[in-house]
Amino acid sequence: MSEVKTVRVVIEGRVQGVWYRGWTIEQAAARGLAGWVRNRADGSVEAVFHGPAVTVDDMVAACRHGPTAAAVSRVTIEPSADAVGHGFHQRPTQ
């Protein structure tokens, strides 16, 4: 059985108004990950990914590029204890 992990990721750069959240939902769902994504008032995007460690790592690597119109300058990753439930969804801006 593969290791499961949950991480919280904050993506900075030109990541709002470029379909970053929609892209994240598509990418995470395609990988079978649970969690959520939201815009933050400071202009960054925050997400929590939960699933097999190798798949979570692959999603985090994809976040370093994001959708075509994005310009990611930094991705911060930390372990998370968030209860994510099932599926991947968008949360309101915080």
Q: Is 30 among the domain residues?
A: yes
Virtual torsion, Cα 42, 61, 87, 40, nearest 10 deg: 0
Q: Is 38 among the domain residues?
A: yes
Number of domains present in the structure of the chain? 1
The pLDDT confidence band at residue 2, using thresholds 50, 70 and 90, is confident
Q: Is 85 among the domain residues?
A: no
For residues 66 and 46, what is the distance between their CA atoms, to the nearest angstrom?
A: 13
Could you report the per-residue pLDDT of 23-60, keeping only the tens digit for each? 999 999 999 999 999 999 999 999 999 999 999 999 99
The pLDDT confidence band at residue 1, using thresholds 50, 70 and 90, is low
Active site annotation includes 21? yes
Q: Is 53 among the domain residues?
A: yes
Q: Is 41 among the domain residues?
A: yes
Catalytic residue, chosen from 21, 40, 64, 74, is 21
For residues 18 and 31, what is the distance between their CA atoms, to the nearest angstrom?
A: 21
Q: Is 21 among the domain residues?
A: yes
Active site annotation includes 14? no
pLDDT at 83: 79
Catalytic residue, chosen from 14, 31, 38, 39, is 39
Residue-range definition of the domain harbouring residue 19: 4-76
Return the CATH number at 12.
Answer: 3.30.70.100
pTM of the model: 0.95
